Amino acid sequence: MTILDSLRPAPGLRVLVTAGASGIGAVIARAFTEAGAHVHVCDIDRAALDRLAVQAPGITSSAADASIERDVDLVFDDVRGTLGGLDVLVSNAGIAGPTGPVESMDASLWERTVAVNLHSQFLFARRAVPMLKESQSNPCIVAMSSVAGRLGYAFRTPYASTKWAVVGLVKSLAIELGPQGVRANAILPGIVEGERINSVIAARAAATGVSADAMRDEYIRKTSLRRMVSAEDVAAMALFLCSPAARNISGQAVSVDANIEYL
């Protein structure tokens, strides 16, 4: 194998992508499929799953709330049936959570953010690890954190707290699973183009009393490259981390963020 060949994931990988029916997750799922992988996704949005089935009929799927243990168990029943095993877990499920000062934050919104962004990571890792230990194909976990997992983020404390926790989970899993040959890394996307960041910007603008346009400009000025990143940028990193070229990369928190300097 040449160095150039090693930059692509090996064909035939069995990949599970959580929250994979739309957004970054769907782009990652399609990228792995294009690289020759067998991909299964789960998502809470049944309409998005139906759209993905039309757009990418080779991708199998399960409807599930990633924060609910019973749903996760059913996903892995499906994975056993459709993939026959697992080489890669892309743990992508997450929500933006509430925006506002901590003293006025609804505790139930905090709890929901923790459930989706962090508890789901534990539930999927717990079920995936035994299957990954059986893999002979450079097995790995790719967990989706955020640039908010390395920087403080005022008015977004539930989101930032969970994304920091994801990094801690990944670094701990890398140590725990390394002797069995299983790698674990986190991707920290920055400002990703799309409807989700538009909603985040609008909510933060409202919370701080500025216009949405001014808030968007502020976000972009925080990046050294003065631009947002794309879902394709994030998917490319996921592919690399699961390629032979990354076989000695584990326990890392890799930013794909145009170098965000502060939040």
pTM exceeds cut of 0.75? yes
pLDDT computed for residue 101 by the predictor: 94
Reported as a single tens digit per residue, the pLDDT across 97-115 is 999 999 999 999 999 999 9
Calpha distance 168→123 (Å, rounded): 15
Written as six digits, the tokens of 98 are 């509430």
Q: Does 8 score more than 90 pLDDT? A: no
- Vertex 58 angle, CA 56 and 62, to 5°: 85
Q: Does 149 score more than 90 pLDDT? A: yes
Q: Does 195 score more than 90 pLDDT? A: no
Cβ contacts of residue 69 below 8 Å, gap of 6+? 123
Whether residue 63 contacts residue 46, with contact meaning beta carbons closer than 8 Å, is answered with yes
Whether residue 113 contacts residue 62, with contact meaning beta carbons closer than 8 Å, is answered with no
Structural domains present in the chain: 9-192+230-256 (3.40.50.720)
For the chain, percent of residues with pLDDT exceeding 70: 100
More confident residue, 152 or 72: 72
